[in-house]
Amino acid sequence: MTKINVLIVDDSAFMRKLISTFLQEDSRIHVVGTARNGIDAMNKINILNPDVVTLDIEMPEMNGIEALQRIMSEDPRPVVMLSSTTKEGTENALLAMQYGAVDFIQKPSGPISIDLHLIKKEIVTKVLHAGKVNVALLKKPLKIQETITTRIVECSKIELESNRSIKKIVCIGTSTGGPRALQQVLPEIPRNYPAPIVIVQHMPAGFTKSLANRLNSLCEITVKEAENGEFLKAGTAYIAPGGHHMKIKKIGTSLAVNIDESELRNGHRPSVDVLFESVGEIKGIQKISVIMTGMGSDGSFGLKKLKENGKTVAIAESSETSIVFGMPKSAIETNLVDRVENLEDIAGTILSLT
């Protein structure tokens, strides 16, 4: 069995030792070396050629974001970021994923987390997942013009129509590589799109709001973190809050969000299956489901429920563009997927379905 060779980059000797110990307890992983900052990391990458790099964000001399940009431009490979739980740490983690990081790990209690053992399983799992990503795609970070603006809500014909009864809904599920994929798809949806979009992106609490704000700054449609009890509007995308399941329920002729903290599904909360199952129970509306990049099979069982009730068109991202072809592959294997599309074509396919 070929082991995944990992380089650990952190300015704390204690953290380097702890992460090394966790990873090497798994027989599938070999820690080839450690580095104390970004400059040291670049030198070690040239010498050791690791399969995966774990990269702390907050470091002296060259921080994790700067090192990541160099790695992706000079010698791309899977990188898993470690970030703090601060607002700045959250923003930097999302920025890192825009620059090509595969995933991120949230340290429980600051730069030096003596309780890191609490997320030992997460660290090992995400490094193993990183070792399976489509490295070729990491060489092509998305380049979308960022135009952060304060959106002005106008009382227009489009806005009035968005409050009428919903006749169509788009459900999107994604995980590893998802923020990058959403950043490709959502900006192509026009402001007057006549349906709400509900999204499950596997992320911990605290990160989905920042993700929604970032996507909102790039899109014509409104993108927001979903709130319990709110009614869905056309031309708006709702992202399930990290750490919570999101279900959609019909109330009269309207659709409303229900947020809860019920048991994990497939190891996840939010879960794509939970969202899809809830939408599957709604009758009388057209449904479009989209499963994009991610490890595992979350969404496949829910897809079966969607297809059982009413008209549903199912789209899966292709292996050619998926950072991780786990969730789409599992969905395709159900034989319920109608369209398999490259990432850049998914928005156009959604818009073509009337």
Question: What is the average pLDDT value for the chain, to the nearest integer?
Answer: 89
Band (158; pLDDT cuts 50, 70, 90): very low
Lowest-pLDDT range of 127-136, 154-163, 282-291: 154-163
Q: pLDDT > 70: what percent of the chain?
A: 90
298 is catalytic: yes
- Look at residue 179 and tell me whether its pLDDT is greater than 70: yes
Q: Where in the chain is the domain with CATH 3.40.50.180?
A: 157-352
pLDDT of res. 154:
36
Query: According to the model, what pLDDT value does residue 258 have?
Result: 97
What integer is the mean pLDDT of 196-219? Answer: 93
Which range, of 43-57, 114-128, 333-347, averages the lowest pLDDT? 114-128
Is residue 264 scored above 70 in pLDDT? yes
Instruction: Among 3.40.50.2300, 3.40.50.300, 3.40.50.170, 2.50.20.10, name the CATH number for the domain at 4-138.
Output: 3.40.50.2300
Which one of 11, 273, 298, 345 is the catalytic residue? Answer: 298
- Angle between helix 64-74 and 87-98 (nearest 10): 0
Distance CA 291, CA 324 (A): 12
333 strand-pairing partners: none
* pLDDT for the residue 85: 62
Query: What's the token pair of residue 353?
Result: 């379905």
More confident residue, 303 or 89: 303
The model's pTM: 0.87
Q: How many CB atoms lie within 10 A of CB 228?
A: 12
Q: What is the pLDDT of residue 250?
A: 93
The pLDDT assigned to 330 comes to 97
Q: pLDDT value at position 142?
A: 57
pLDDT confidence of residue 110: 60
What distance in Å separates the CA atoms of residue 173 and residue 176, rounded to the nearest whole number? 11
| pLDDT category of residue 275 using cuts at 50, 70 and 90 | very high
At residue 30, does pLDDT exceed 90?
yes
Question: Is 160's pLDDT higher than 50?
Answer: no
Strand partners, 31: 6
pLDDT, mean of residues 327-349: 97
- Choosing from 84, 175, 318, 330, which is the catalytic residue? 175
Instruction: Specify the domain boundaries for CATH 3.40.50.2300 within the chain.
Output: 4-138
pLDDT at residue 161 tops 70: no
Asked if residue 288 has pLDDT above 90, the reply is: yes
Out of 111-125, 183-197, 271-285, 287-301, which region has the weakest mean confidence (pLDDT)?
A: 111-125
* Domain 157-352 annotated CATH 3.40.50.180: yes
**Long-range contacts of the stretch 208-216 (C-beta < 8 A, 24+):** 208/239, 208/240, 208/241, 208/242, 209/241, 210/87, 210/90, 210/91, 210/94, 211/94, 211/179, 211/182, 211/239, 212/239, 214/94, 215/182, 215/183, 215/186, 215/187, 215/239, 216/151
Q: Above 70 in pLDDT, residue 147? A: no
- pLDDT higher than threshold 60 for residue 148: no
pLDDT tier, 88 (very low <50, low <70, confident <90, very high otherwise): confident
Whether residue 202 lies in the annotated active site: yes
Active-site choice (129, 202, 244, 268): 202
Known active-site residue 262? no
Q: Are 285 and 169 in contact (CB under 8 A)?
A: yes
